[in-house]
């Protein structure tokens, strides 16, 4: 039997520029009165897979911080996902077969990056599966706030971020992927996630374009 996979060591790569983004098939227009922002899995355990102080993670974190500032200033609800450490094997389920036991229940694993820390009024959801909608009340919390658009940023683009966007689409919530406020295992995985999303279930935009729409 093969040993369970662990997180890779991620080599630096440059984030895609606006002129490199795929054309999105959906023609949805981002509306500050309909939108919510999701900061996906920006915990130390996941971020530590990247080379520090280098692309993609350094500029991605800066872009996420800009999105947070713009969203809060525009009255856009902000959600976070964060996994718990030391998950019971029965609760972790099939993820343990691919990724092993996951993070420990210690601050150096579980903590959201301090520069992206939740503010008063932000909502932190406990993450159970790839999609942020699984075993959470994200859908209900958005509906209660009359929100049917979701801006997604964070890590990893082709796993939780893309699958959250795909599930949002299937729940009739319009997803927007912040292309340069995401990071992934490699530039090829990053580009593939954006191309798939733009073709099948999401609008792909740059951080600048999203902030412009919100403000």
Please give the positions annotated as active site.
Answer: 41
For residue 49, give both structure tokens: 């897979």
What is d(CA 209, CA 28) in angstroms, rounded to the nearest whole number?
Answer: 13
- Using omega within 30 degrees of 0 as the cis cutoff, is the peptide bond preceding 56 cis? yes
Q: What is the DSSP letter of 186?
A: S
Among 54, 59, 49, residue whose Cα is nearest residue 178: 59
Among 46, 38, 120, 47, residue whose Cα is nearest residue 80: 38
Q: What is the DSSP letter of 161?
A: I
Q: How far is CA 63 from the centre of its chain?
A: 12
In this structure, the chain runs to a length of 215
For residue 24, give both structure tokens: 């999105």
């Amino acid at each position: 039997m093969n040993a369970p996979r662990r997180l890779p060591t991620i080599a630096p790569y440059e984030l895609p520029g606006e002129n490199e983004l795929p054309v999105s098939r959906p023609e949805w227009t981002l509306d500050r009165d309909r939108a919510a922002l999701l900061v996906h899995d920006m915990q130390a355990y996941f971020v530590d897979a990247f080379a520090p102080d280098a692309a993609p993670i350094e500029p991605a974190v800066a872009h996420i911080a800009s999105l947070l500032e713009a969203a809060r200033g525009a009255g856009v609800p902000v959600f976070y996902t964060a996994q718990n450490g030391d998950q019971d094997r029965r609760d972790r389920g099939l993820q343990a077969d691919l990724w092993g036991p996951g993070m420990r229940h210690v601050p150096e694993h579980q903590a959201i990056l301090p520069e992206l820390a939740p503010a008063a009024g932000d909502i932190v959801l406990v993450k159970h599966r790839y999609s942020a909608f699984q075993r959470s009340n994200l859908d209900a919390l958005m509906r209660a706030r009359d929100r049917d658009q979701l801006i997604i940023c964070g890590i990893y683009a082709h796993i939780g971020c893309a699958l959250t966007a795909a599930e949002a689409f299937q729940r009739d919530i319009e997803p927007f992927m912040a292309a340069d406020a995401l990071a992934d295992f490699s530039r090829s995985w990053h580009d593939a996630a954006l191309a798939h999303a733009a073709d099948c279930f999401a609008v792909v935009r740059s951080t600048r374009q999203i902030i412009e729409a919100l403000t």
